[in-house]
Amino acid sequence: MFGTLYVIGTPIGNLGDITLRAIETLEKIEVLFCEDSRVTSRLINELIAKKLLTKKPRYVPYNEFNEDRIFHQIVEMVNRGEQVGLVSDAGMPAISDPGYRAISACLAAKLRVEVIPGPSALTTALPWSGIGGEIALYLGFLPKTSGKANKILEASREMIEKLGTGRLVLYVSPHRLVKDLIQIKNVMGGETQAVLMRELTKRHEERIEASVDELIKKYMQNKVRGELVLVIGSRDRC
């Protein structure tokens, strides 16, 4: 029997968003590599409680701190014919989350890799932003160093200006929100329109549409919590 690495998308907040294919895959895998076994075990336990799964896999931590060591283990297991799963804490692995090293290594070794599509904050935020454009540039999390962040933002701005259309999508950590907004203001201007989305698909999800200047003013005075996605661009008015 051939081994397979299954790259599995999981809900970003609402359990109801898990797919039938993801459930079927979780049922047949033997080992599940995950960012945080505490987070993933809660998901698995909920699925078992709802009688959507019948068994638990063996959890193995796979995160930014051990990825360089662990990805070889994944390749070896798949090469031995094992059915191996890979998940992040939420959404799709390898999108601003660990995973690409294991996926690339398995593909390089001509091993089977199967992607089980699922929810993603990126694809959820884009339509809800209301910001149009044929092109979307996904920047992930901005680098912590100002120089690198400026280079990325300047290159993105120049590309959008040349094309005459486009929007930027960024993931933002709550403790870096104001710093990132100031970086954006310095490169793109404080009047730039943006939509900040918080806790997507969860009970208290929130959408705030404002200029970058207005967002800076708001969050200089108010702390923010939860998972954040920022979309930058001009929304066409109806």
- What digits encode the pLDDT tens for the residues 183-233? 999 999 999 999 999 999 999 999 999 999 999 999 999 999 999 999 998
Which pLDDT score is estimated for 235?
53
Do 94 and 7 meet the contact criterion of CB atoms below 8 Å apart? Answer: yes
112 and 98 share one domain: yes
Q: Is residue 103 part of a domain?
A: yes
Q: Are residues 126 and 110 in the same domain?
A: no
pLDDT in tens, 154-193: 999 999 889 888 999 999 999 999 999 999 999 999 999 9
Task: Mark whether 18 and 92 lie in a shared domain.
Answer: yes
In this predicted structure, what is the pLDDT of residue 237? 43
Residue 151's SS3 state is helix
227 and 131 in one domain?
yes
- If you average pLDDT over every residue of the chain, what do you get? 94
Same domain, 115 and 142: no
- Whichever domain contains 25, its CATH number is 3.40.1010.10
| Residues contacting 123, CB < 8 A, separation 6+ | none
Residue 141 and residue 109 in one domain: no
Domain shared by 57 and 80, yes or no: yes
**Cα–Cα distance measured from residue 32 to residue 62, given in angstroms and rounded to the nearest whole number:** 9
Evaluate whether residue 193 is within a structural domain.
yes
One domain for residues 23 and 68: yes
Residues of the domain holding 218: 122-232
Return the amino acid letter for 170: L
At 98 the pLDDT is: 85
pLDDT higher than 60, residue 52: yes
Residues 95 and 167 in one domain: no
Model confidence at 126: pLDDT above 90: yes
Least Cα distance to 165 among 138, 195, 193, 135 occurs for 135
Question: Which residues lie closer than 8 Å to 217 by C-beta, 6 or more apart?
Answer: none
Quote the pLDDT of residue 238: 36
CA atoms within 13 A on the CB side of 121: 32
Whether the pTM exceeds 0.75: the reply is yes
Largest CA distance in the chain: 59
Nearest Cα to Cα of residue 118 among 232, 212, 19:
19
Helix, strand, or coil here: 197?
Answer: strand
Is residue 234 scored above 90 in pLDDT? no
Residue 21 lies in a domain: yes
Convert the pLDDT of each residue in 33-50 to its tens digit: 999 999 999 999 999 999
pLDDT tens digits, 68-121: 889 999 999 999 999 999 999 999 999 988 899 999 999 999 999 999 999 999
How many Å apart are CA 184 and CA 186, to the nearest integer?
A: 5
Same domain as 143, residue 95: no
pLDDT over 60 (residue 236): no
Domain count, the chain: 2
Residues 176 and 95 in one domain: no
**Residues 6 or more apart from 16 whose CB is under 8 A from it?**
none
Q: Please state, for a pLDDT cut of 70, what percent of the chain lies above it.
A: 98
